[in-house]
Amino acid sequence: MFPDLDPIEPTASDLAAIEAEWPLIAAELDLVDAEISLIYAADHGGPTALDWRRVRRAERRVVRAAASIGAPVTPFRLVA
């Protein structure tokens, strides 16, 4: 379709960098999942203490994963 564009594939070093960051990526996905559950809980009587605990635990996993790979961590501000 676009003959002037060469397909660019990730190099071995790109894949190694992704692999090294995967624990942080997985932790961030868990945090997003926990935050989404809070949004849905708002439609069903509000989030429970367990919902909030899940978010706090996911936040701590993100911080630990970021610290283990040396990535900067931005503060979390979740408004309920």
Provide the percentage of residues in the chain whose pLDDT is more than 90.
55
Query: How high is the pLDDT of residue 43?
Result: 85
Compute how many other C-beta atoms are within 10 angstroms of the C-beta atom of residue 60: 12
Query: How high is the pLDDT of residue 6?
Result: 59
pTM assigned to the model: 0.73
Spans of the chain, pLDDT less than 50: none
Query: How high is the pLDDT of residue 56?
Result: 96
